[in-house]
Amino acid sequence: MLTITRYEEVTQIKMSLFSESHPPLCACAYLVDSLLIDSGPDCTGKELADFLKDKGVKLLVNTHYHHDHIGGNAILQQNYGLEILAHPAAISRISQPPQLYPYQEAIWGHSLPSQAKEIGKLVRTPHFQFEVIPTPGHSDDHICLFERSKEWLFSGDLATVTHPRLARAEENQWETIISLKKIKELRPRVLFTAPEYIITEPSTMLEKTIQYLEETGQRIRALSGKGLSPAEIAKQLFGEDIAAQITEGQFSSENFVNSYLKVD
C-alpha cells in the first residue's frame, strides 16, 4: 500500500504491506523533480511503478543497500529503464541482494537484482542539485543527499529516532555520531527520513540524538571495562529484548552494545 504526502516540491511515498503502518513496518521513498530517492520494499514495487508511470522519473538513488530501500529497483529499471546510482560499496550488494531472514520476506518480500552505477559528488535534476554526503554508521555504504538552496536533507536511515537501542550487527555507532555531526553542520531546514518522519527545523532532534549516542557509548565502554559482557550490558541498560526474538537476533540491543565496542 502507498500513502502519498506532499511537502513543498517533495513527494513522500510511504510503502508497506499493511494498510495502517508505522516504523518499522513501513519505508519511504521521495520523489523530487525527475529523481526518486530509494525504491522501498519489493512487496510494493508494482504499486510504486504504477504510481510513477506519468511522473517523469529519470533517475533513482539508493541511500544504501538494505532490502527496504532497493526492493522496487528491479521493476522500475525494467519498466522505465531508470539509471540507478549508489555508493560504490552498495553496487555489488544491489546486483546480488543478500539473503533475507524469514520475517523480512514476510514483511517486505524478496528484492530482485538490479544494476547500479557509482554515484558522484553531485546529482542534478532539471530544477535542483543534490550534494552526495557519505554517512557511514548504519551501514558502510550509506549516503545522504543535500539540496543546499532548499536546505533539504534526505537522510535515509541515518537519522531515525533520538534514543535508539537496537542495531544490526554491521552498525558502528561511533561512525553514526560522526555522520550525524556532519549533517548537523549543514544546518538543514527539513529532514526527510526513510522511516516516515518529515522533520522541520531538525537541529534540536539531531543534537539530542548525538548527545544520547555519545553518553550511551561512554556508559557501555565503562561497563565493558568492568568486565561485563555485551549481553550483560544490554540487559542492564535496556532490559528484555523482544526485537531480538522476533528478528532472530538481526536487530538487538546486544548488537547495539557491540556497535560501540568495535575496534576503531
Question: What pTM, to 2 d.p., does this model score?
Answer: 0.96
Asked if 65 contacts 214 with a C-beta cutoff of 8 angstroms, the reply is no
Say what the pLDDT of residue 19 is: 78
104: cell is 523480512
Beta-strand pair 143-147/129-134: antiparallel
Residue by residue, pLDDT tens for the chain (264 residues) are 999 999 999 999 999 988 777 888 899 999 999 999 999 999 999 999 999 999 999 999 999 999 999 999 999 999 999 999 999 999 999 999 988 888 888 888 888 999 999 999 999 999 999 999 999 999 999 999 999 999 999 999 998 889 999 999 999 999 999 999 999 999 999 999 999 899 999 999 999 999 999 999 999 999 999 999 999 999 999 999 999 999 999 999 999 999 999 865
Give me the DSSP letters along 196-236. S-EEESTHHHHHHHHHHHHHHHHHHHHHHHTT--HHHHHHH
**The pLDDT value given to residue 61:** 98
Whether 68 and 108 have beta carbons less than 8 Å apart is answered as: yes
Polymer length in residues for the chain: 264
In 3D, which of 95, 87, 88 has the Cα closest to residue 115? 95
CA distance 26 to 93: 22
pLDDT value at position 264?
A: 56
Q: Which domains, ranges and CATH numbers included, belong to the chain?
A: 2-216 (3.60.15.10)
Secondary structure element (H or E) that encloses residue 28, with its range: strand 27-32
pLDDT at 99: 86
State the Cα–Cα distance between residues 133 and 35, nearest whole angstrom.
Answer: 16
